[in-house]
Amino acid sequence: MRHCCQFNPDDVYYLRDNECFSSRKLSVGFCPICSKPVAELIEWRFDGVMNKLSLAGIRANDLMLKHKDEIVYSLRQYNYSKFKSKPFGWVYGVNKAVKRRQKEVVKQYACDFYGNKELVKSL
């Protein structure tokens, strides 16, 4: 995204296709120099032409509110759900011994560096 300088958006929203456009993407962020909200809408027409609309300030907020009902998912929501479901990426093992009645049960867990863990087996 570009306003006073080039910067990465805070969040990217993927919008539903309508009768004129497909592959619609709304990027939203704040300019690091002037701190104004900046919105950028990128859509592809079915004949292959790209439309790009960049707005700042109050008009960016109006654009976001206009397309709020068309949001399918956001990139931040997708990344959050990917990391919160199961161990992801590098995985290490943790063994825990628990005493039950006169027996000792060992539980083996697979853990990742995001705090997720999953029971692999219980011996």
Report pLDDT for 38.
93
Q: How many CA atoms within 13 Å lie on the side-chain side of 101?
A: 0
Sign (positive or negative) of CA dihedral 81, 83, 89, 91: negative
Its pTM surpasses 0.75: no
pLDDT at 85: 67
Q: Could you please report the per-residue DSSP string of 59-119?
A: HHHHHHHHTGGGEEEEHHHHHHHHHHHS--SSEEEEEEEEEETTEEEEEEEEEETTS-EEE
Q: What is the pLDDT of residues 39-92, one digit of tens each?
A: 999 999 988 899 999 999 999 999 999 999 999 888 887 776 666 667 777 888
**Tens of pLDDT along 80-123?**
666 666 777 788 889 999 888 888 999 999 988 877 888 999 88
Alpha-carbon distances of 62 from 17, 19, 37, 57, 59, rounded to whole Å? 20, 22, 11, 9, 5
What pLDDT is stored for residue 108 in this prediction?
93
- d(CA 110, CA 116) in angstroms, rounded, equals 8
